[in-house]
Chain A
Amino acid sequence: MTELTELGAAAAARAIHAREIDAGELFEAYRERAGADELNAFTWVAEGPPPPTDPAAPLAGVPLAVKDLFCTEGIPSQAGSRILEGYRPPYTATVVENLTGAGVTLLGKTNQDEFAMGSSNENSAFGPVLNPWDRGRVPGGSSGGSAAAVAAGLAPWAIGTDTGGSIRQPASLCGVVGVKPTYGACSRWGMIAFASSLDQAGPLARDVTDAALLLSHMVGHDRRDSTSVALPEPITLPTAEDLTGIRLGVPEELLAGGDDGAGIEPGVRESFEATLALAEGLGATIDTCRLPHAPHALSAYYLIAPAEASANLARYDGVRYGLRVGGEEDLATMYTRTRGEGFGAEVKRRIMLGTYALSSGYYDAYYGQALKVRTKIADDFRAAFARFDFIATPTSPWTAFELGSKADDPLAMYLNDFCTVPMPLAGIPALSIPSGCSDGLPVGFQLAGPAFSENPLLQAAHALERAIGFDGSQVRA
């Protein structure tokens, strides 16, 4: 690793502002690293130098890796799917526009599970991403390329999307910081949709400060997404060094794990408990709390998200963009063949599941009931936040698992999301920071707060991060 790329993103922006380093040289250093990517983290890397940026811009030409599903004008954007093969959108996602407006340069597009459906990045038309900590293991998903690129120092920072854990879980498995903001904080315009009532963009970064800086330039109301909202206050860079007066709730239902083998691995639990002890040492008070409906979140999620996906993905029909298969026969046959050959196995499963849950005779029992569970989950969080500032859990019950080890068992794969799905159902923000390693693999610690609590969450994560002192530099070498 060169001195240039060892600089964190915020530090690099400061150095460019001070004219100590040159943005063009920084971009070239990363372009070289991303171009030599052996992890399959990138699906596209910039071919030449970026357009000149204003060195006084807040993000001053610091390069950014962008998950494939963000539309980028004239640049391949296919959400990891064969059905969007060759698609180069005629417009750019608002979040990407906000960031380039603040001065970032587009380094590349990152690999992901197809349409963001997956927890291992094995469901990509581009093939799996390898975890930089152990190339025989998954990086997590669906934002696996973004997480692996940041962990391996192929990019200073990246953006991803989180629907049921797709930023936090790969951040956890790759040893980086990942933030899922409050629903609506970031515009979804130009994000290729998975489940619209859950999808949120967010940053993946080497540390909490970089994540906060990136997030501060992503957020904002966008008239093109009427579900986006203006945050009550701007995102600020965290400075907290202690947790005095902070009350942390540990939900016993999530710590117990599900009854289908979602139990927390011993090494993960150990790291989680050590982090709680550190938090106590920093002045936090810790107590168990109840989220009685949280164990049902996974079921509600795996009905609501596929239901929304089955509707969102109806647009891939071989007419307006992407792949078309057949066309010699009638229209319905063309639709069926295009979708049959264009979608991968997991996307087909979710479309089937969602279509079933919405179909006549099952709608109330499945989809309707799931929406009611969603209400109860949001109520549980509201009650918990009356007593606690934040909820703390392990991000993922497991560390990175071996490639292929869960690929044949969809349910086992879904259980990986046990601790991350309740938050998007309630629309609340949550983040994952590395809390240490178990058998040489990173473990993630998750904090969740009430809607629009991004600043206090980032402050708490910053204090904890300093106390933990996680060092991910070995995989950036």
Chain B
Amino acid sequence: MLEFIISKYNFWLYVILMMIGLYAMLAKRNLVKKLIGMNIFQTAIILFYVSIGVKKGSVHVPIIVDSHGHGAQLIHAADYLNPLPHVLMLTAIVVSIATTGVALAVLILIYRRYQTLNEDEIIHIRQARQKAGV
């Protein structure tokens, strides 16, 4: 059992990182803290996918030698890293920066309206305003 945990240590640490992000999204009251938690959660998932493509004893990216002329050699896929998860995760990183930007814009609008970023206070002010009929 202990050997099983140690041999796959990176996956366990990714899960711990993911749970840190989930805790921040659920339990923290400040909206910026929730956004930081979302960023941590996203990077933990991206980390997991990139680590799938790593193979033991292979550190090269696939580069074809002599691909245009004669003497092209056969490429063994087992000798190289798997580049497919890298390319997919590039898209995920760019999408994550877009969601962060939109979320920060919404946060600034919320702050202008309620003068606070605390979730409890925002709900309180909203209820008070609804009762007053504003």
A binds B: no
List B residues at the A interface (Cβ < 8 Å). none
Q: A residues bordering B, Cβ < 8 Å? A: none
